[in-house]
Amino acid sequence: MPDEPRPVPADQLYRSTDLSAVPFDTTDDLEAFDGLLGQERAEEALELGLGVEGDGYNIFAHGPNAGDKALQVRRILTARAAARPPAFDWCYVNNFDDENKPLHLRLPAGRGARLRQDLDAFAGELQSALAAAFESEEYQARRQALEQQSESEQQEGLEAVQERAQQRALRLVRTPMGFIFAPVKDGDVVAPQELEKLSDDEQQRIQKAVEELQEELQLLLRQDPGRQRQLAQRVRELDREFAELAVRDLIGDVKRRYPDEDVVLAHLDAVQVDVTDNARTLVESGGRAGGQIQAMAQQQREHILERYQVNVLVSSEEGDGAPVVYEDNPNYQNLIGRVEYRSQFGALTTSFGLIRGGALHRANGGYLVLDARKVLMQPYAWEALKRALSSRKLVIESPGQALGLISTSSLEPEPIPLDLKVVLLGERQVYALLEALDPEFPELFKVQADFGATPERTPEQQALYARLVAHLAQRQQLRPLDRGAVARVLEHSARLVGDSRKLSSQTRPIADLLREADHLGRARGDGPTTADDVQGAIRARTHRADRIRDELLEQVLRGTVRIATQGSRIGQINGLAVLQTAELAFGRPSRITARTRLGDGRILDVEREVELGGPLHSKGVMILSGYLKAHYAPETPLSLSASLVFEQSYGAIDGDSASSAELYALLSAIAELPLRQDLAVTGSVNQLGEVQAIGGVNEKIEGFFDLCAARGLTGEQGVLIPGTNLQHLMLDERVVSACRDGRFHVWAVDTVDQGMELLTGLPMGRRDESGAYPDGSVNARVEARLRHLADIRRSLRSNANGPGVEEDGP
């Protein structure tokens, strides 16, 4: 026979906080603790992921409390980052061989910005240096010499032609567009009418001479373009020579500042060559041409000068740690960067200067923290992130390019090598889904940091929790909390996780509670926040959310929903369910009834028949029939038909926490023994008749207590809970105080027998040596009834070939 069930002592209904080991008066005396409680496993995982060098050692940190987790991750990252060297500066510069493919420069921290300044200064001085070179007397003299030489060549040719013309009495006459050979007489060109006076022979002679000279002149003029080209070429060489002289010192100044940066020196060499090639354009203003040509020339100069600039994508300072970047809006472009365009004469153009870095650029060499859900919700962002991580390269391209949808020419910046750790934050479900659906995910995120652990309520953790409370109060600039208030907060934390031996790791609801308690305390007066303030805040918080609970309770009190809290009834019992609204979980009593008659051993679960019962509920009901078959008249077939109903339940039901209540109701109906209606029952049973733990025990007890209290406590009322749920009890102070005064009772039961005895007031009874239950026991009555039903059934069946038992099946 199991032990007599006894009411649970009041001191076990609520585990108070013992903070005696922590000396403090108010939280101001405590060193604030800014961390996460009990997440050692996750933190170790994080440290491992961050420590291991190698592909794919990125981290997915999951757990329920997003804000705290993000903070903690960033705290750990920041601490690690501070001990690491700063990241490199990354710049893009013009590629003088192919402007569509800008080149990157990797520089030590801080050097990128300096190089930009140096080259800006260089470009600023360049034009005046070049202008000075081209205006120098030496340059002018040499250029004039070249031009004169070229002119002289043409001049000599023309003179020779003219000379030959003169010898033949002809003159080379300049027309508005060219030349004509005309005969000369007495120093003047012969007028047409004069020509007619000449003899035919003479005219023919002149014509022939003209034709010959024309050919000669043509030949000469044909050489002119070639000579012009040659002159232009020589002038270009001269320009180049002077430009080189002018630019050498300027660029040399810059070079001396980067003696060890080979990439910079190579780039500066390229700049030098380019300046030399474009020197003439840089100093010419478009001359006397009109406004538009001048504007275009100006634009061309600006374009050339822009090419010497440095586009610093990422820059840090010497002495900075490695970067820790959190990108709140991780869309495609914010992650991998983009190329901007600007409108120029109605067309969109771009250049290396319009390359913009993304979060991956900023975090390169350090850590990037992203919200997994946000990344997944942004089109193409997840794929881009994976591509960057698996290739370890940062390729800036538009989504259209990445998808191969756009083939217009655009920039193809040189990919930047990527070396960073990505920490994704998200819920466990997101992690599980990615793990299951994305084959690349396990390769790229090899470490999971599980922040889901619930801290133990040990003295050490409680002390730490007190310091956490101190931190939360200080962070929100609240008044300090006294010892009582801290203790009450701790107890509330335990209640939040529904376990007297655990603490909640979520700080957001605690931080809110502190603020609200502080608000109440200020209204009350001076001094630190007290336990009463905290209690008041908890009550107010509950009150704000419990309209639905109140309405349900009102329905019971008004009799709309039938729940008895006194007397006894056969086949009827008070079960307990937990309802969850957005803010509040609460217990609600529910009447469960059982009816029996002769049948073939089936127990009809009405909830399942109408598809309101979930699978766990059905399982619980099926266990009942297993229990009946094993316990009573095992030698005879179960000749009973029973139906079980959650009365006035209009929604879905799941879970097996009512299975003990259903069993009690069933046994009551079979034995035709009334059950106490002033008790409510929760707990699941197994086939052996053991009562097992259920969830939401505190809410369930409080739900029945509220109803009884509203009707007036009789001193007999109480709740039966599984003994294994004792450790979870963190009951409301009103329940605890009623129990202490004997006005309400919580009974811990371990077996169906204990429960049944409480509910019927009769002993359950054990089989004696003959195998029979003692008379007057519950078991004896149950077995007698079942045997009776079996007898009837047997007699009906043996009664010739009469019609069988009316089947009570589906």
Which residues are known to be catalytic?
A: 657, 700
Fill in the DSSP letter of residue 695.
S
Q: Which is nearer to another protein, 48 or 210 (CB)?
A: 210
Binds another protein (CB under 8 A): choice among 71, 146, 169, 210: 210
Phi then psi for 437, rounded to 5 degrees? Answer: -105, -20
Residue from 45, 66, 123, 217 in contact with another protein (CB under 8 A) = 217
Determine, following the binding rule CB under 8 A, whether residue 218 of this chain makes contact with another protein. yes
* Closest to another protein by CB, 195 or 463: 195
Find the binder of another protein among 189, 354, 540, 784 (CB under 8 A).
Answer: 189
DSSP string, 352-373: GGGEE--HHHHHTTSEEEEEHH
Nearest-angstrom CA–CA distance, 445 and 422: 8
Encoded tokens for 596: 């029996």
**Residues 6+ positions from 78 with CB-CB distance below 8 Å:** 321, 324
Which stretch in 191-199, 641-649, 715-723, 785-793 sits in contact with another protein by CB under 8 A?
191-199
Which CB atom, from 79 or from 173, has the smaller least distance to another protein? 173
Q: How far is CA 178 from the centre of its chain?
A: 78
Residue among 173, 266, 293, 377 that touches another protein (CB under 8 A) = 173
CB of 186 to another protein, least distance (A): 13
Q: Give the three-class secondary structure for 312.
A: strand
Q: Is 728 helix (H, G, I), strand (E, B) or coil?
A: helix
Which lies closer to another protein via its Cβ, residue 293 or residue 548?
A: 293
Q: How far is residue 630 from each of residues 623, 689, 757, measured CA to CA in Å?
A: 11, 10, 19
Q: Is 226 in the site for another protein (CB under 8 A)?
A: no
Q: If binding is defined by CB under 8 A, does position 290 make contact with another protein?
A: no
Query: Does residue 281 belong to the site contacting another protein (CB under 8 A)?
Result: no
Runs of H (alpha helix) within 65-110: 66-82
- What part of residues 107-166 is at the interface with another protein (CB under 8 A)? 151-152, 155, 158-159, 162
Measured from the CB atom, the residue of 230 and 686 that comes closer to another protein is 230
Of 29, 224, 302, 317, the one binding another protein by CB under 8 A: 224
Select the residue interacting with another protein from 21, 83, 177, 800 (CB under 8 A).
177
> With binding defined as CB under 8 A, does residue 188 bind another protein?
yes
Shortest distance (Å) from residue 278 CB to another protein: 24
DSSP string, 623-646: HHHHHHHHHS-TTS---EEEEEEE
Report the distance separating Cα 524 and Cα 308, nearest Å.
Answer: 69
Q: Shortest distance, CB of residue 168 to another protein, whole angstroms?
A: 14
DSSP code, position 529: B
State whether residue 225 is helix, strand or coil.
helix
Q: Which of 48, 146, 221, 796 binds another protein (CB under 8 A)?
A: 221
Tell the smallest beta-carbon distance from residue 245 to another protein (Å): 23
Q: Does 190 participate in binding another protein (rule CB under 8 A)?
A: yes
CB of 164 to another protein, least distance (A): 13
Q: Does 174 bind another protein (CB under 8 A)?
A: yes
Q: Which two tokens stand for residue 350?
A: 């771009």
Amino acid (one-letter) located at 623: I
449 binds another protein (CB under 8 A): no
The region of 69-77, 125-133, 167-175, 494-502 touching another protein under the rule CB under 8 A is 167-175
The C-alpha atoms of residue 253 and residue 271 are separated, in whole angstroms, by: 13
Number of other CB atoms surrounding residue 338 within 10 Å: 18
Say which amino acid occupies 499. D
Q: Which is nearer to another protein, 178 or 404 (CB)?
A: 178
CB of 207 to another protein, least distance (A): 5
180 binds another protein per the rule CB under 8 A: yes
The stretches of 338-458 forming alpha helices (DSSP H) are: 359-363, 372-377, 381-391, 399-402, 428-437, 441-444
Least Cα distance to 7 among 495, 721, 778 occurs for 721
**Contacting positions for another protein (CB under 8 A):** 151-152, 155, 158-159, 162, 171-183, 188-192, 195, 206-207, 210-211, 214, 217-218, 221-222, 224-225
